[in-house]
């Protein structure tokens, strides 16, 4: 953050060295990059280790900060490589790490506590308890979910932790970190940096529609709201686009700098370099109209005309820093030049000047040579010249002295800003190989409505997971509170209401709740309610599981992006479970894709893709979010013996009571599936 004038930091995306140069020359205060491993934009060019070292040098030469995104989830098999990636970043002088997986948090906290950590938007932080959780766990910055309106952002900026807000670029339909569409359709996980962008393909609520893009939003642009964001107290304004070309980075960065300083920017130029039928500010403004759009041929055609103009934005080094000079030429002594910029000073010496035979050097002549700073980051602010009469000083000597001084100044300034942090490899978390015992898991069921329990013998299952809003109905029907696990809203703009409801039902005997994001954990711990980790925590390795166990989460649901064999190898003191039945959730959205297309009255309850597959959409408008479900039902009743887990979750959505009973009976019998079904990712895995 730019703390000197308290304006937000301009944070630019860089997927290559050329993009890095474009960002810095266009005015970025900071950039974020990814290495070749563990980057959520794996398909960007990304940076080799040698390039990271050069990127650190170049950024610090410009006085800019550089953050590295180590923000994918990792498996146990990758923990050694993860620790090496963290070590290199710390020792290279990276200024901060953007992270999602708590294994990164654990490695850095133990091995290099001086490295600042920024919790990624993939962690679904959008409430006060979410940010306070991050603050209490030592994160210096939280990257907020993109779905937040102005009033929520303003409230979160008051919590004593830096906030980072996306202001331009691609806007995903799904809440970040909660999208599994690409993984389940094509084995390419967004949480692993390999999103295939399946949401940009045709989807419609109408089977006859072939050119509808119900899951594709326009790109985000909040440049007209920069002043408001600054007034809110946002620390960093972030541009999306590590997979975009350098011209995009230059245009977006220079426009943001101009907008932040109250100047004009060329929105048409921004549209030309990349947009999806224009831009939207719908979440920030609260006006969620006209937010949907897809990339068209007309959008793409605008680019070629705009490129030459955009390249001019970063063709030359900008004159960024003022420099003062103090030059001394005394007979019989070596030439001296002292240069100073921003509190950093260097002095260099030249040859002893000779007596002039013809025209001697004068102050005007010396100043004319020394102020030739083109091609550097400096411009002359003032100059002092001490010059004996009758001396001959060739222009080549003065130019050489000036170049040497500026080079030394660059080196010294860069060295002052590059903090290489010590990484103690002896403290890397160790995992002791300890395969889980092959046990028969207890069967838990998750229902959307209490009516789904009508025909079920509740004694045939160990636990019933039900929505918070169904708790009173559950008790009214005589079901035991101790058998229930209450699941909390996965996304909410009214956290106070959730807390109040939990306080009320706790007095009714409910003792356990399922948490889908870090905010839930903090709330439950504060109320003394047992926390059960849900799939939304994206737990894929033993170290992360251990960190959640330390937070008091004694039961954890493994990510359904893991193979069964990977789940079996998880080593933790917590109980481990897995979802083994149901239409798996593909997206968590704050925008209803059906409403946009046909309105609530014409709701079909599903989307259809270009192959004719039907994807149910669960309406949770009373909670403020919607869930897109997989088209096929997960069935693993006949495969439970492949899972060494403590509990197995049957996740029911729109099934009728009779179907719920039938499925539970078949799972207790470990019966084969009938009809069309999927094994999910438990056997085929992800790339």
Three-class secondary structure assignment of 290-358 = CCECCCCHHHHHHHHHHHHHHHHHHCCCCCCEEEEEEEEECCCCCCEEEEEECCEEEEEECCCCEECCC
309 pLDDT higher than 90: no
Residue 618 · residue 548 · CB < 8 Å: no
The DSSP 8-state label assigned to residue 49 in this structure reads H
Number of Cβ within a 10 Å radius of residue 290: 12
Mean pLDDT of 400-421: 97
> What is the predicted pLDDT for the residue at 435?
63
Indicate the pLDDT class of residue 445, thresholds 50, 70 and 90. Answer: very high
d(CA 609, CA 327): 72
Q: Model-level pTM?
A: 0.95
Name the token pair of 686: 């992800």
374 confidence band (pLDDT: 50, 70, 90): very high
Whether residue 377 contacts residue 318, with contact meaning beta carbons closer than 8 Å, is answered with yes
Q: Which two tokens stand for residue 685?
A: 């895995």
Both tokens assigned to 483: 């058998």
pLDDT in tens, 22-80: 999 999 999 999 999 998 787 778 899 999 999 999 999 999 999 999 999 999 999 99
> Given this model, what pLDDT does residue 312 score?
85
Mean pLDDT of 449-467: 96
Model confidence band, residue 192 (pLDDT cutoffs 50, 70, 90): very high
pLDDT band at 272 (very low <50, low <70, confident <90, very high): confident
Alpha-carbon distance values, 442 to 224, 378, 439, 446, 647 (Å): 54, 69, 9, 13, 5
pLDDT digits (tens, 9 = 90+) for 594-624: 998 888 988 999 999 999 999 999 998 888 8
Report the percent of the chain where pLDDT is more than 90: 87
pLDDT at 2 over 60: no
Mean of all residue pLDDT scores within the chain? 94
Tell the burial category of 386 from Cβ atoms under 10 Å away from its Cβ (0-12, 13-18, 19+): exposed
Q: Where are the alpha helices (H) located in 187-286, listed in sequence order? A: 226-232, 246-260, 267-273, 282-285
**Tokens found for residue 132:** 């306070």
pLDDT for 4:
41
Provide the CA 461 distance to its chain's centre, in angstroms. Answer: 38
Choose among 127, 234, 226: nearest CA to 168: 226
Kindly tell me if the per-residue pLDDT of 1 is higher than 60.
no
Residues paired with residue 206 on neighbouring β-strands, in sequence order: none
Mean pLDDT of 425-432: 91
Say what the pLDDT of residue 40 is: 79
Is the pLDDT reported for residue 320 higher than 80? yes
C-alpha separations of 547 from 75, 107, 572, 621 in Å: 15, 11, 10, 33
Kindly state the average pLDDT of the residues 206-232. Answer: 92
- Residue 301's pLDDT is 79
**Residue of 206, 172, 200, 179 lying closest to 608 (CA atoms):** 206
- Calculate mean pLDDT across residues 474-503: 96
Q: Rounded to the nearest 5°, which phi and psi values hold at 241?
A: 140, 40
CB atoms within 10 A of CB 478: 7
Question: What pLDDT score was predicted for residue 433?
Answer: 73
Asked if pLDDT for residue 105 goes beyond 90, the answer is yes
What would the mean pLDDT of 655-675 be, rounded to a whole number?
Answer: 95
pLDDT of amino acid 436: 63
Cβ neighbourhood burial of 434 (10 Å; 0-12, 13-18, 19+): exposed
467 by Cβ neighbours in 10 Å (0-12 / 13-18 / 19+) ranks as buried
**Is the torsion defined by CA of 332, 334, 340, 346 positive or negative?**
negative
Element (H, E) at 397: helix 395-417
């Amino acid at each position: 953050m730019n703390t000197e004038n308290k304006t937000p930091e301009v944070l630019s995306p860089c997927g290559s060295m050329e993009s890095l140069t474009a960002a810095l020359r266009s005015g970025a205060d900071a950039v974020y990059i990814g290495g070749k491993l563990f980057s959520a934009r794996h398909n960007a060019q990304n940076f080799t280790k040698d390039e990271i070292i050069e990127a650190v040098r170049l950024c610090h030469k410009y006085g800019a900060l550089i953050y590295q995104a180590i923000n994918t989830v990792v498996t146990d098999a990758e923990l050694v490589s993860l620790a090496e990636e963290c070590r290199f970043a710390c020792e290279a002088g990276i200024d901060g790490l953007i992270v999602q997986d708590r294994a990164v948090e654990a490695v850095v906290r133990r091995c290099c506590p001086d490295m600042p950590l920024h919790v990624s938007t993939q962690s679904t932080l959008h409430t006060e308890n979410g940010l306070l959780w991050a603050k209490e766990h030592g994160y210096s910055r939280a990257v907020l979910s993109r779905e937040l309106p102005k009033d929520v952002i303003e409230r979160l900026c008051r919590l004593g932790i830096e906030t980072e807000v996306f202001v331009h670029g691609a806007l995903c339909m799904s809440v970040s970190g909660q999208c599994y569409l690409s993984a389940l359709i094509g084995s390419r996980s967004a949480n692993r940096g390999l999103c295939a962008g399946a949401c940009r393909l045709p989807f419609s609520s109408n089977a006859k529609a072939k050119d509808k893009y119900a899951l594709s939003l326009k790109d985000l642009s909040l440049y007209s709201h920069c002043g408001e964001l600054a007034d809110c107290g946002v620390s960093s304004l972030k541009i999306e686009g590590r997979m975009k070309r350098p011209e995009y980075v230059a245009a977006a960065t220079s426009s943001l700098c101009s907008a932040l300083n109250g100047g004009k920017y060329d929105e048409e130029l921004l549209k030309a370099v990349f947009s999806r039928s224009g831009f939207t500010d719908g979440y920030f403004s609260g006006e969620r109209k006209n937010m949907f759009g897809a990339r068209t041929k007309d959008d793409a055609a605008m680019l070629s005309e705009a490129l030459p103009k955009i390249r001019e934005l970063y063709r030359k080094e900008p004159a960024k820093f003022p420099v003062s000079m103090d030059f001394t030429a005394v007979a019989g002594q070596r030439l001296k030049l002292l240069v100073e910029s921003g509190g950093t000073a260097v002095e260099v010496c030249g040859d002893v000047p000779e007596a002039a035979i013809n025209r001697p050097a004068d102050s005007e002549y010396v100043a004319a040579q020394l102020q030739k700073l083109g091609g550097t980051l400096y411009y002359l602010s003032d100059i002092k010249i001490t010059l004996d009469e009758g001396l001959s000083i060739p222009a080549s000597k003065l130019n050489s002295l000036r170049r040497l001084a500026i080079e030394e100044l660059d080196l010294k300034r860069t060295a002052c800003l590059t903090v290489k942090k010590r990484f103690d490899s002896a403290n890397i978390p160790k995992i002791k190989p300890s395969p889980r015992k092959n046990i028969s898991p207890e069967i838990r069921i998750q229902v959307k409505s209490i009516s789904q329990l009508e025909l079920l013998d509740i004694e045939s299952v160990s636990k019933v997971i039900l929505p918070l809003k169904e708790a009173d109905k559950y008790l009214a029907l005589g079901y035991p509170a101790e058998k229930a696990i209450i699941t909390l809203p996965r996304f909410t703009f009214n956290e106070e209401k959730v807390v109040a409801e939990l306080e009320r039902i706790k007095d009714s005997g409910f003792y356990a709740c399922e948490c889908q994001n870090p905010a839930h954990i903090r709330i439950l711990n504060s109320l003394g309610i047992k926390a059960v980790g849900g799939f939304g925590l994206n737990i894929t390795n033993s170290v992360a599981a251990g960190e959640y166990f330390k937070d008091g989460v004694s039961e954890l649901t493994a990510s359904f992006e893991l193979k069964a064999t990977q789940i079996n190898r998880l080593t933790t003191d917590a109980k481990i479970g897995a979802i083994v039945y149901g239409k798996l959730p593909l997206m968590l959205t704050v925008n209803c894709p059906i409403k946009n297309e046909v309105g609530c009255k014409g709701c079909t309850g599903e989307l259809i893709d270009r192959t004719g597959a039907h994807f149910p959409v669960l309406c949770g408008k009373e909670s403020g979010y919607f869930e897109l479900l997989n088209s096929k039902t997960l069935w693993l009743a006949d495969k439970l013996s492949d899972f060494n887990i403590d509990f197995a979750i049957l996740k029911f959505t729109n099934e009728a009571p009779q179907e719920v009973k039938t499925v539970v009976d078949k799972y207790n019998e470990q019966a084969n599936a009938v009809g069309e079904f999927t094994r999910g990712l438990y056997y085929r895995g992800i790339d």
